[in-house]
C-alpha cells in the first residue's frame, strides 16, 4: 500500500466512522496506522490506539484547516463521512446544505491544498448514498443510470460527487465515491435518517423494547412489501478498507462512483427474520404508525442494483439475507459490543 498510513476520518464519532476507526486500527494491511479522528462531537479513539482526536465543526473553514495540520502531518487518505442524515436534511434544508455540501467542499479543498503542499495526491473516500436516485427508475440500477434525487440529502450527495469527480479528473485528489445501501443493523440510538426504522425494528425488539414502523398500518399491511436495498455494517466497513486499496486505473475512466454491493429485502422479510431469530414475541413489539414524509422519502429510493461492477473491483457482498445479520447483531448485543 502506498502512502504513509496517516488516515483522517471525518464523522469519526458516528456509527460508521467509529467502526471504521476500529477496523483500520487492527487491519494487518494498514500497519503503523496513525488516525486523525474528527467530529463535531468529541470522537473516541479505539482502545489501544494513539489516534489524534479532534472536536471540530467542519462548517468552519478554520477548523477544517486545523485538522490537516496535526502532529501526524498531511494524511494520505481522507474518509469523508460526516453529515446530516436524510430526514435531518429534508426537515432543515439550509442546515443540510451547509453541512452536506458546503462543509464537504471545504474539506475537499483542504485535501487539495494540503496534498499539493505535501507533494502527494490525497485519496478522498466519500460516502454517498442510494438517495441520489429517485423519480422514474429502471427495475435495476446500472452504473450508467442517471441520478435524479427527490430529496435534499440525495441532492447534496450528488453535488458532492460531481465536485469529487472533477477534482479527481484534474488530479487535485484521488476520489473514491461509495454509494452506500442502507446499513442494517445500525447500533446505538435511532438516527435522523428516514431509513432509521429499517434498523430500529430489529434493534429495539432484540432488546425487549418497542419500536414503531413508519411504513404501513398493521402487520398485514401490503405496504410492508416495500423493497429495501441493504448491506451489513461488517461488509460495508470491509468495503471501506478495500476502497483505499483499489488501483486508480481500475475504476471507469469517466467516474469514481461505485454503488457498493447490497441485497434486496423488504420490511416484511426483516420482521420475519426477527421472528425467526428471536421469536414472535420480539416481532410483536413492533407497532405501526404510518408517516407520510418518511414513507415518501424511503419509497423514492431504488431497491435493486446491478452489483457486477462493484464485485469486479473486489468489493464484497452479504450472503444469506437478513437472518444471519439479525443473528449476528443479537450475538453482539449479548456480548455487549454494540
Q: How far apart are the first and last CA of the chain?
A: 31
39 binds ligand NAD (CB under 6 A): yes
Q: How far is CA 260 from CA 38, 230, 307, in A?
A: 24, 10, 7
- Exactly one of 8, 9, 14, 201 binds ligand NAD (CB under 6 A); that residue is 14
Could you say whether residue 96 binds ligand NAD (CB under 6 A)? no
330: cell is 443479537
CB contact at 8 A, 232 and 184: yes
Of the residues 37, 52, 67, 85, which one makes contact with ligand NAD according to CB under 6 A: 85
Residues 161-220 that bind ligand NAD (CB under 6 A): 180, 182-183, 186, 191, 195
Rounded-to-integer distance, Cα 237 and Cα 27, Å: 11
Subset of residues 236 to 265 that bind ligand NAD, contact rule: CB under 6 A: none
Q: What is the DSSP string of 269-300?
A: HHHHHHHHHH-HHHHTTEEE---HHHHHHHHT
Query: Cell 465536485 maps to which residue?
Result: 163
Q: Report in angstroms how near the CB of residue 220 gets to ligand NAD at its nearest.
A: 27
Contact 162, 177 (CB under 8 A): no
83 near ligand NAD (CB under 6 A): yes
Q: Is the dihedral of CA 282, 287, 290, 293 positive or negative?
A: negative
Annotation marks residue 153 as catalytic: yes
Among the listed ranges 53-61, 162-170, 207-215, 240-248, the one in contact with ligand NAD (CB under 6 A) is: 53-61
> HSE-up of 259 (CA within 13 Å, CB side)?
26
Residue in the block written with cell 407520510: 292
**Residues in contact with ligand NAD, shown as a per-residue x/- string from 122 to 161 under the rule CB under 6 A:** -----x-x--------------------------------
Among 5, 8, 9, 13, binds ligand NAD (CB under 6 A): 13
Sole window of 78-86, 139-147, 268-276, 285-293 interacting with ligand NAD (rule: CB under 6 A): 78-86
d(CA 89, CA 153): 6
Nearer to ligand NAD, 4 or 307 (CB): 307
**Annotated catalytic sites, by residue?**
153
**Where along the sequence are the contacts to ligand NAD (CB under 6 A)?**
11, 13-17, 39-41, 57-59, 81-85, 99, 103, 127, 129, 180, 182-183, 186, 191, 195
Amino acid at each position: 500500500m502506498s502512502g504513509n498510513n496517516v488516515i483522517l476520518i471525518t464523522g469519526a464519532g458516528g456509527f460508521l466512522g467509529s467502526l471504521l476507526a476500529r477496523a483500520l486500527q487492527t487491519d494487518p494491511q494498514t500497519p503503523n496506522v496513525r488516525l486523525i479522528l474528527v467530529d463535531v462531537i468529541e470522537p473516541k479513539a479505539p482502545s489501544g490506539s494513539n489516534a489524534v482526536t479532534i472536536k471540530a465543526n467542519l462548517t468552519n473553514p478554520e477548523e477544517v484547516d486545523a485538522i490537516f495540520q496535526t502532529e501526524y502531518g498531511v494524511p494520505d487518505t481522507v474518509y469523508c463521512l460526516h453529515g446530516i442524515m436524510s430526514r435531518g436534511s429534508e426537515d432543515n434544508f439550509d442546515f443540510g446544505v451547509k453541512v452536506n455540501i458546503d462543509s464537504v467542499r471545504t474539506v475537499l479543498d483542504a485535501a487539495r491544498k494540503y496534498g499539493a503542499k505535501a507533494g502527494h495526491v490525497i485519496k478522498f473516500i466519500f460516502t454517498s448514498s442510494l438517495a441520489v436516485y429517485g423519480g422514474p427508475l429502471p427495475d435495476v440500477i446500472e452504473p450508467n443510470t442517471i441520478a435524479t434525487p427527490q430529496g435534499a440529502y440525495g441532492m447534496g450527495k450528488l453535488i458532492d460527487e460531481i465536485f469529487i469527480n472533477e477534482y479527481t479528473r484534474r488530479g487535485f485528489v484521488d476520489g473514491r465515491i461509495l454509494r452506500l445501501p442502507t446499513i442494517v443493523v445500525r447500533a446505538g440510538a435511532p438516527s435522523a435518517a428516514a431509513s432509521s426504522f429499517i434498523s430500529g425494528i430489529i434493534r429495539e425488539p432484540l432488546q425487549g423494547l418497542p419500536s414503531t414502523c413508519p411504513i404501513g398500518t398493521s402487520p398485514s399491511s401490503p405496504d410492508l412489501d416495500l423493497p429495501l436495498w441493504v448491506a451489513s455494517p461488517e461488509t460495508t466497513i470491509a468495503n471501506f478498507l478495500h476502497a483505499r486499496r483499489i488501483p486508480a486505473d481500475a475504476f471507469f475512466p469517466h467516474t469514481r462512483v461505485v454503488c457498493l454491493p447490497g441485497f434486496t429485502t423488504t420490511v416484511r422479510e426483516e420482521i420475519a427474520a426477527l421472528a425467526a431469530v428471536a421469536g414472535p414475541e420480539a416481532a410483536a413489539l413492533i407497532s405501526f404508525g404510518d408517516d407520510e414524509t418518511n414513507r415518501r422519502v424511503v419509497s423514492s429510493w431504488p431497491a435493486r442494483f446491478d452489483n457486477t461492477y462493484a464485485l469486479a473491483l473486489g468489493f464484497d457482498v452479504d450472503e444469506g439475507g437478513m437472518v444471519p445479520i439479525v443473528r449476528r447483531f443479537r450475538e453482539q448485543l449479548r456480548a455487549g459490543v454494540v
